[in-house]
Amino acid sequence: MAETVKRVQIVFQPSGRRGEIEAGKSVLEAARTLGVGIEAACGGARVCGKCRVVVETGRFEKLNLTSSADHVSPVGEAEKKFLTAEELARGYRLACNAFLSGDLVVTVPEESRSAKQVILEKGRERQIELRPAVKNVTVTLAPATLSDFRDDARRLLDALEKETGLHGLTVDFPVLRNLPEILRQNDWQATATIWQGKEVIRVAPGRRETSLGVAIDVGTTTLAAFLCDLTTGAVLAKASRMNPQIGYGEDVLARISYAASEPDGRKKLQDAIIEAINALAADMAEKAGFVADDVDEMVLVYNTAMHHLALGLDPRYVGRAPFAPAVREPLDVKARDLGVKINPSGNVYSLPVEAGFVGADNVAVLLAEEPYNSDAVKLIIDIGTNGEIDLGNKNRLLSTSCATGPALEGAQIAFGMRAAPGAIERVKIDPMTYEPRYKVIGQDEWYPVPYDWHPTVQKVGAQGICGSGVIDAIAAMHKAGVISKAGRIDAKLNTPRVRRGESGKLEYVLAWAKETAVGKDIVITQADIRAVQLAKAALYVGAQYLMERYGVDHVDEVILAGAFGSYIDKESAMAIGMFPDCDLSRVHAVGNAAGDGARIALLDVEKRREAAKVARRVEFIETAAEPDFQKKFMDAIAIPHAKDKFPHIE
Amino acid sequence: MAETVKRVQIVFQPSGRRGEIEAGKSVLEAARTLGVGIEAACGGARVCGKCRVVVETGRFEKLNLTSSADHVSPVGEAEKKFLTAEELARGYRLACNAFLSGDLVVTVPEESRSAKQVILEKGRERQIELRPAVKNVTVTLAPATLSDFRDDARRLLDALEKETGLHGLTVDFPVLRNLPEILRQNDWQATATIWQGKEVIRVAPGRRETSLGVAIDVGTTTLAAFLCDLTTGAVLAKASRMNPQIGYGEDVLARISYAASEPDGRKKLQDAIIEAINALAADMAEKAGFVADDVDEMVLVYNTAMHHLALGLDPRYVGRAPFAPAVREPLDVKARDLGVKINPSGNVYSLPVEAGFVGADNVAVLLAEEPYNSDAVKLIIDIGTNGEIDLGNKNRLLSTSCATGPALEGAQIAFGMRAAPGAIERVKIDPMTYEPRYKVIGQDEWYPVPYDWHPTVQKVGAQGICGSGVIDAIAAMHKAGVISKAGRIDAKLNTPRVRRGESGKLEYVLAWAKETAVGKDIVITQADIRAVQLAKAALYVGAQYLMERYGVDHVDEVILAGAFGSYIDKESAMAIGMFPDCDLSRVHAVGNAAGDGARIALLDVEKRREAAKVARRVEFIETAAEPDFQKKFMDAIAIPHAKDKFPHIE
């Protein structure tokens, strides 16, 4: 029956992936179309014999499908070479050489599955296919003799091409330097690390199992880094540190100006960030029992300005209309060309830039959240010093950026700090007594413990407040009536927590000096509240514009992302009016989605191709130039929600 | 008539190249097969319209051929796009789109000729097609606007691809750094330097005409360098200097040992040579009114050991059996990866290595002399610290190497120096008086002038003796009877020129202190003579072995090459027995053929492909291991020729 139709059904087991494929295509092509990973070292050239699959026969009731060996092309010569008679009898075929003529159920045996699946342990469950850019291949060479004139490089490449079926492999130049010694060290057995199936970027004596990659979300304020085992997808270590460029300017415009006007400004900024990247890589490698030179691949994501500043590209024209970046396309740069101290032949991959300030970090967020595969209209807010907002679904995808400032990351706040042990990350305030309770990173219990108003011993004293703590604090202060809708602290409250600080401005004491590790009262100032209001208003207005442009008055889902280290409390975020109202059950805080996206691109090169497509597809909306921007922005500064719940607050 | 045969005749005018080509091939393919250069920026993809040729019609008596518009395929769509009706009427076609069906005479108009021909001004006349690896292309871009989201890199590549028809161009990463400023500097007009039709390695504002390349013969003792204008092939400057590695060992084995055993030995040796290369490039660029950064391409040739030491490759296994190099294939390495200070994105090309000690320098000699295109059996002797010898013709090509030592380059000789102003380069001795006459580099007249035995004023005083002077001196001493066949100085001669030096050993005074610029008598010592004898014996025996292996008892032609700076005197060379006897009219001294070969590879990338083929084809013969080597070598130490002409010498 199927023979007479143009398209046929194919189901891959055990993944259950299913689709309609044009008759005449190979099983391998069908697998690729449907995203089923089949090992094919030779890329379908019929020389490696690795893409072994089993054609199942019979009537599959559940699948509503009859599969038969007659539904594929007859066994070819290439297959007779790689498969035994017994295997052929059992239905084994090479996926590259079996062409579809009818409906088929195909089992991909474990050894032929190219991609293990891994799950990011953070955020929502995300399955990633494990298809890293680098692969270790161990070979044993014929030793050099007087009658075999081959040079060491050719000898190695011949063995690798024979082993993998890959043709035209090259050796990155620096790898040649110690090749003679390395090949002879373990009696001509060596492991080559092959990048993207085309270039040898490392040769180690004997068998080498280590295969490491690093993903870094290079934020304007914070760098968040992951060291991954590329053979398992596991995160071996994590690290974060402040962006040292802060010394040259708090925001990207200040840094662009520094780069353009100071002598060696651009180089100083690049050196600062590269040094931080190197320190992160070295720290993480050491934690996991390796050295940074063991790392073979790195993925960087950043906004457009940070992208230019980290890569040493002239950033001036990114900061002024028409905001043309030097380069938008994804970049593969040798680590040594960037001064990045991992394997010097290793590749540093940058995700593509979208447009204007919407950079590779937002592409990473999209990779992690995949709104382009969704029916529901999603609003994705990536909170950072530059906020990025995406809105859309599989039909259309819009994005914009807004200057949020670092307040939501805990910076430029009187007692702000990054999310690290000692940071207050959660805050609640009793509306009757105005007494707070808070939770410090590094200690499981809240302080003070509930129903016991006597202070317990703090194992980790509070040192400051991180981003999620700041948002919680503002939301809680508003709910408790400590601040008004306009954000003003109520001076008339009967509590020692509200007082005038040294400058005479009002402040709220979150922690008394004795509870802290810094020996000072930790306070939220009126200025802090203002900074948070400006930041959240910018995000709110950005989302409003995208909704207007998309033509929706509500969104199906809200995703809150940001490199806070700790998750933002979605209720607090909505309470302070960070985004348009949405059913709270459809609001998700996912943590550092840009970092997750960077890791996804590190573990699965197919996702890099997806990223390039997505970056081209997203429509960038410039909002700051809209005529009613100022009005919308002022309207959004107020704190909207507590009023309904606490009607005594005006 | 021609329509019925499989192969057709084609003649290209004005070059007159002619050949039989399979019917159905395009005129462009025919041109390539016959080595006729036709401009085809798009590589035959039918998009650039540059490969315009004129199909001639009529009976060409001299060529014995009838050419007709019917002998090619009808005019296609691509041609109608690029050619006017008038041009079509005049017989214009695009070579890529005109397919042969019969005999044809085709004129390639000046504007379509891809390769200008240049002639190396040194050595014998050598025509080189000018097809350099780099090409400047000037384009004017559409300026960036808010409605055109392209980044600067894409904008440039789009314009370049449109202009050249080249697809998939990339930009070398460091070029991106200043791209934004460069593109805007001259109102969006810029010149890109494209390497090998695939990578942009420089972008300059406005129109840039400069296109420079450097070729260097990196000898064990001497580096000889050329700066060439890649748009004309002209040599703009030349320079040479001693190989600074001499401080680490006179010969390559000593240096390999230093590299292997001393701390940082390999790096020190590489740094020394790279520093010398950088100094040569900077000196030449300055002489010609440029800076080294203007240089876009460099070609290096060297023996296998120097190849490894200059590139920083582990050299240990090159120095011991089975003499496997780390890499034999030609290398393209970014200048920045070698520390070579030209355009950091420029390419440093190394010619391929043959085998053992026969390196890229010998491949360069072969490129220059092309014995593989010759009927005559040629013996090519490249004299250097490592001598390389080739023997053969288009049927078969053998090569070997021998340890000559630096004596024939004037080094390790009491008053030896490199060929520079002040060096005695020619010597004659009167057989009656034993008085010498000599010529100094930098002064046209011999000293003393003939028929006037009173010293004339030396404008350039002698400072020492270079390689050609040493060979001349030994030959002249022997002819004059100052030394015996065995090389011993005759102590009994009645001349003050022969005396015992400070060590008590005999020496011959070539120049009295008052004639020199060094204030000392310049002498040839008994040890100098011995060193030259050992060197020339090594070359002689190498040639003998190759002739035995090839099965000839004489050669049709002898080529004497070497980086002497000045040409060797072929008669003197034969007189001291440097090579087997040959009719003197068939002996040619060609100077630095390796340097010429390096320049050829610099100016014509096609020759690089030829080099790769030749390197694979040459049969390497290991002679030192032959059982009768020692006997042959001892026999070759004597100085053979003067005896017949001066029978009184025993």
ipTM at complex level: 0.79
**A174: which chain B residues are within 8 Å (Cβ-Cβ)?**
337
Q: If interface means Cβ-Cβ distance under 8 Å, which residues of chain A face chain B?
A: 144-146, 148-155, 171, 173-174, 176-181, 184, 311-314, 316-317, 321-329, 331, 333-334, 336-337, 353, 355, 620, 622
Give the tens place of pLDDT for each residue, A392-405.
999 999 999 888 88
List phi, psi (to 5°) of B16. Answer: 80, 5
Of A152, A316, A620, the CB nearest to B324: A152
Among A313-327, A408-422, B357-371, B463-477, the least confident range: A408-422
Of A171, A311, A324, the CB nearest to B144: A324
Search chain A and give the residue with CA nearest B181: A314
For an interface test with A, the pick among B145, B267, B313 (most A C-beta atoms closer than 10 Å) comes out as B313
Q: Give how far A579 is from chain B: nearest CA, Å.
A: 28
pLDDT greater than 90 at residue B285: yes
Give the tens place of pLDDT for each residue, B308-330.
999 999 999 988 888 899 999 99
**Contact, B355 vs A149, CB < 8 A?**
yes
Q: Confidence class of residue A646 from pLDDT cuts 50, 70 and 90? A: very low
**SS3 string of A339-386?**
CCCCCCCCEEEECCCCECCECHHHHHHHHHHCHHHCCCCEEEEEECCE
**B334: which chain A residues are within 8 Å (Cβ-Cβ)?**
173
Amino acid A305: pLDDT: 93
Average pLDDT over residues A42-48: 76
**Contact, B65 vs B9, CB < 8 A?**
yes
For an interface test with B, the pick among A145, A156, A181, A313 (most B C-beta atoms closer than 10 Å) comes out as A313
**DSSP sequence for B543-582:** HHHHHHHHT-SS-SEEEEEE--SS---HHHHHHTTSS---
Average pLDDT over residues B416-434: 90
Give the tens place of pLDDT for each residue, A294-305.
999 999 999 999
Structure-model confidence comparison of residues A250 and B170, the more confident one: B170
Q: Which two structure tokens, joined as six digits, stand for B401?
A: 């190497």
Structure-model confidence comparison of residues A288 and B642, the more confident one: A288
Search chain B and give the residue with CA nearest A174: B337
Amino acid A458: pLDDT: 57
Q: For chain A, how long is the longest CA-to-CA vector?
A: 97
Contact (CB<8Å) B151/A333: no
Search chain A and give the residue with CA nearest B173: A333
The Cα–Cα gap between B186 and B184 comes to 6
pLDDT greater than 70 at residue B117: no
Of A179, A328, A355, the CB nearest to B326: A179
Of B145, B150, B326, the CB nearest to A153: B326
Search chain B and give the residue with CA nearest A260: B181
Contact (CB<8Å) A173/B333: yes
Of A144, A329, A333, the CB nearest to B324: A144
Please report the number of interchain residue pairs, chain A to chain B, with beta-carbon separation below 8 angstroms.
129
Contact (CB<8Å) B184/A317: yes
Of B149, B314, B336, the CB nearest to A355: B149
Structure-model confidence comparison of residues B644 and B420, the more confident one: B420
pLDDT greater than 50 at residue A632: yes
Contact (CB<8Å) A181/B316: yes
The helix/strand/coil state of B515 is helix
Of A312, A321, A331, the CB nearest to B146: A321
Of B150, B173, B333, the CB nearest to A333: B173
Contact (CB<8Å) A180/B149: no
The Cα–Cα gap between B264 and B201 comes to 32
The count of other CB atoms within 10 Å of the CB of residue B505 is 11
Search chain A and give the residue with CA nearest B332: A173
The Cα–Cα gap between B313 and A451 comes to 72
The partner residues of A634 in beta bridges, in order of sequence, read none
The Cα–Cα gap between A633 and A534 comes to 8
Q: Taking all residues of chain B, what is their mean pLDDT, rounded to a whole number?
A: 89
Give the tens place of pLDDT for each residue, A251-283.
888 999 999 999 999 999 999 999 999 999 999
Amino acid A476: pLDDT: 96
The Cα–Cα gap between B171 and B169 comes to 7
Among A368-382, A457-471, A491-505, B237-251, the least confident range: A457-471
The Cα–Cα gap between B181 and A43 comes to 42
For an interface test with A, the pick among B185, B188, B261, B314 (most A C-beta atoms closer than 10 Å) comes out as B314
Contact (CB<8Å) A324/B152: yes
Among A407-411, A428-432, A437-441, the least confident range: A407-411
Of A146, A174, A326, the CB nearest to B151: A326
**B612: which chain A residues are within 8 Å (Cβ-Cβ)?**
none
**DSSP sequence for A274-331:** HHHHHHHHHHHHHHTT--GGGEEEEEEEE-HHHHHHHHT---GGGSSTT---S--S-E
Secondary structure letter of residue B525 according to DSSP: E
Give the tens place of pLDDT for each residue, A56-100.
988 888 788 888 888 999 999 889 888 888 889 889 999 999 999
Question: Ranked by mean pLDDT, which of A373-382, B100-109, B244-253 comes out on top?
Answer: A373-382
Q: What is the pTM of this model?
A: 0.80
Give the tens place of pLDDT for each residue, A234-252.
999 999 888 999 888 878 8
The label of the residue with tokens 């007594």 reads: A433
Amino acid B646: pLDDT: 41
**Contact, A648 vs A481, CB < 8 A?**
yes
pLDDT greater than 50 at residue A649: no
Search chain A and give the residue with CA nearest B147: A322
**A145: which chain B residues are within 8 Å (Cβ-Cβ)?**
322
The count of other CB atoms within 10 Å of the CB of residue A247 is 13
Amino acid B249: pLDDT: 86
Give the tens place of pLDDT for each residue, B299-309.
999 999 999 99
Search chain B and give the residue with CA nearest A157: B327
Among A515-519, B39-43, B556-560, the least confident range: B39-43
Q: Confidence class of residue B452 from pLDDT cuts 50, 70 and 90? A: low
For an interface test with A, the pick among B141, B148, B150, B151 (most A C-beta atoms closer than 10 Å) comes out as B151
Average pLDDT over residues B514-520: 90
Q: Taking all residues of chain A, what is their mean pLDDT, rounded to a whole number?
A: 89
Structure-model confidence comparison of residues A367 and A646, the more confident one: A367
Search chain A and give the residue with CA nearest B322: A146
CA dihedral of residues B548, B549, B553, B559 (deg, nearest 10): -110
Amino acid B572: pLDDT: 93
Contact (CB<8Å) B178/A314: yes
Amino acid B1: pLDDT: 43
Give the tens place of pLDDT for each residue, B211-224.
999 999 999 888 99
The partner residues of B223 in beta bridges, in order of sequence, read B218, B241
The label of the residue with tokens 């590790």 reads: A517
pLDDT greater than 80 at residue A464: yes
The label of the residue with tokens 């300026």 reads: B143
